[in-house]
Structure 1
Amino acid sequence: MNPYVTEARRWIGTPYLHQADTRSAGTDCLGLVRGVWRHVLGAEPETVPPYTADWSEPSGDEVLWRAARRWLVPQADLIPRTGDVLLFRMRANSVAKHLGIFSGEARFIHAYTGHGVIESPLSTPWASRLVARFAFPERI
């Protein structure tokens, strides 16, 4: 089993809490990816500054996408592989601001407002929002 998926599944049921990153207590989508990173790879490579729920939509600044490119390994296509971090744009012409971890079999694990950490089908509506795919690094 993929270690990133195994750890992400341990977070299922964690309530949604903006800017949080603690399994069972609360997390958002970035906190889930950070928590999985810490469990599998060790210490995070940088401190995450405070961020708003709109992820800089008014300015159009792709803050989350830039951070993902800094620490994760960009993949050339949008065909997910087990353990990949998926980046989504929630609305057309807005910044990418949602992350999930592909768990295989056309499913992904993510922390979603009002639902907490869940495993969802990578359905057509979700797949149409996918804008980038990243692998976790071997080690930092």
Structure 2
Amino acid sequence: MSDIVNGLGRAGAYGALGVVLLILGIVLVDLLTPGNLRRQIWADRNRNAAILLVSALLGVGGVVFTSIWTTYDDFGKGLVSTAVFGLLGLVMMAVAFIVVDLFTPGKLGALLVDPEPHPAVWVTASCNLSVSAIVSASIA
């Protein structure tokens, strides 16, 4: 029975950390794009903004999953590792966003929240998922 209780405690801690990292991902996307992200997605039904946010959340989730899956036997060390790699994934996604913005015409953030569908959202979403895959691979 103590194994189950111990496992529940660990799952709760990793789950809480994952939720914090996902929230940070939402904040990051909101900071990188103009306007209020929550309003753009839930009130204005902006698909570009939703695709961008989805890709960031999937990326963060992938990094957190990989970090937990390959976690150290030491629970504390595994929790810290998950936090560090999750934050690294977020930072690298922001850097990729900034680099793509530098090398493309116009302001990327404005294109990505335009109500009209724009192919740039798919490029940026691909960057998010690719960066998270690279960070995930570095964990294993």
The TM-score, its normalising length taken from structure 2, stands at 0.25
Identify, as 1 or 2, the structure richer in helix.
Answer: 2
Normalized per residue, the structure richer in strand is 1
Pick the structure with greater CA Rg. 2
Question: TM-score with structure 1 length normalisation?
Answer: 0.25
